[in-house]
């Protein structure tokens, strides 16, 4: 079953596909129409999905980036990770990790601790409140199909399969 994806806060979309129109205009000037169309579609979907996820998480005091950090800590065996390792696994710049951890710490969802084996290292450790919030937020996100309710399970698998070679060629794994 295919469900309708939420277009935006107002629910109103344009009477035409702006990406198709951009591709038409592009073709009058340059080559690479399929690539331009695909990347523009991908970036627009990323904006739509992230906006939807952030709007679901906002009442909980989270953004999707902060949620991902809490989930990562939940997955770790001790509930804590060095900030550098968090950045690697979340694939974000160290300053972004610091900002995310600052916000989570301010909300009482993580605490910073000295690394027991590396005196210079700092660990972020999820608190009980952080664990409770991850459970609640995850329930909300699952209930909203992570913003991808327009796709059925086959479509979701196909999307992941289509994107895998792009991620791999970029050195993602």
For 171: left if phi > 0, alpha if psi spans -120 to 50, otherwise beta; the answer is left
Contacts of 1 (CB under 8 A, 6+ apart): 152
At 98 the pLDDT is 96
Which residues constitute the domain of residue 92?
62-138
Determine, yes or no, domain membership for 123: yes
Per residue of the chain (173 residues), give pLDDT as tens.
334 344 444 457 899 999 999 999 999 999 999 999 999 999 999 999 999 999 999 999 999 999 999 999 999 999 999 999 999 999 999 999 999 999 999 999 999 999 888 777 899 999 999 999 999 999 999 999 999 999 999 999 999 999 999 999 999 88
Number of domains in the chain: 1
Residue 10 exposure: Cα atoms within 13 Å on the Cβ side: 3
At 45 the pLDDT is 97
Determine, yes or no, domain membership for 23: no
| CATH number, residue 133 | 1.10.10.10
Contacts of 102 (CB under 8 A, 6+ apart): none
Rounded-to-integer distance, Cα 74 and Cα 89, Å: 13
Determine, yes or no, domain membership for 143: no
Rounded-to-integer distance, Cα 24 and Cα 41, Å: 14
125 beta partners:
80, 111
């Amino acid at each position: 079953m295919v469900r309708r994806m939420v277009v935006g806060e107002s629910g109103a979309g344009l009477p035409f596909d702006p990406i198709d129109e951009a591709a038409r205009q592009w073709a009058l000037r340059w080559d690479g129409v399929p690539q331009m169309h695909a990347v523009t579609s991908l970036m627009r979907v990323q904006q739509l999905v992230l906006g939807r996820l952030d709007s679901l998480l906002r009442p909980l005091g989270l953004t999707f980036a902060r949620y991902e950090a809490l989930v990562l800590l939940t997955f770790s065996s001790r509930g804590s990770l060095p900030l550098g390792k968090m950045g690697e696994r979340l694939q974000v710049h160290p300053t972004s990790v610091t900002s995310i951890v600052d916000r989570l710490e301010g909300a009482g969802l993580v605490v910073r601790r000295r690394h027991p084996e590396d005196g210079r290292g700092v660990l972020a450790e999820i608190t009980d409140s952080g664990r409770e919030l991850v459970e609640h937020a995850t329930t909300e996100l699952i209930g909203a199909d992570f913003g991808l309710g327009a796709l059925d399970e086959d479509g979701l698998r196909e999307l992941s399969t289509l994107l895998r070679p792009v991620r791999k060629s970029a050195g993602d794994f």
